[in-house]
Amino acid sequence: MPSYLVNSNQCWILIVSFMIAGCSFSDSSKSISDSTSSIISSPSSISDKEKKYEKNVSDYTAAYVKSSHAEADYSGFLKGLSGIAAEAGIANWDREPITYIAIGKGLKKAGIEGIAYETYKKNFANADENKMENIQKGYESEK
């Protein structure tokens, strides 16, 4: 058999093997991704530590806005959040969606509405759209 046919056959075997492996890997990745998404989105997957953190942030937010005036000290508020997160052992609290969801719940508990709500939301989120969306989610989820 000519050598170029052997090399050609080997090449096709390798190509087909990679295609099969690629499909299998792709299917596995999708399955893992789907499982992770369902765990993350499931309320029952929140740990007790996270529930306590969320409640503490929510309560702190409600107390803060009830006791603050029109010229709120946002850096003082953020410093307080940092302390709550440190107690809970949560690093990078300012990047955690649960922080902003809890802030939204606290704003609702405090009875903040209208322009005051929009102002707090924008300032607490530092005008970050994702953070403002999470505050909104928390606000809407609080009864």
Kindly report, residue by residue over 81-104, the tens digit of the pLDDT. Answer: 999 999 999 999 999 999 999 999
Give the residue from 81, 102, 101, 103 showing the smallest Cα distance to 93: 81
pLDDT score for 70 = 61
In order, the DSSP letters of 63-74 are HHHHH--SS--H
Kindly report, residue by residue over 31-83, the tens digit of the pLDDT. Answer: 444 433 333 444 456 688 889 999 999 999 999 999 876 667 888 899 999 99
Residue that the structure tokens 């090449």 belong to? 11
- Interior CA angle at 114 toward 113 and 118, to 5°? 95
pLDDT score for 2 = 53
**Which is more confidently placed, 40 or 124?**
124
Tell me, what amino acid is at 142? E
pLDDT score for 19 = 46
**Which is more confidently placed, 13 or 69?**
69
- CA-to-CA distance for 121 and 115, rounded, in angstroms? 10
Contacts of residue 64, defined as CB under 8 A and 6 or more positions apart, other chains included, come to 72, 77, 80, 106
The pLDDT confidence band at residue 143, using thresholds 50, 70 and 90, is: confident
pLDDT score for 134 = 97
pLDDT at 11 over 50: no
**Which is more confidently placed, 143 or 134?**
134
pLDDT score for 14 = 45
Chain centre to alpha carbon of residue 3: 57
pLDDT score for 47 = 85
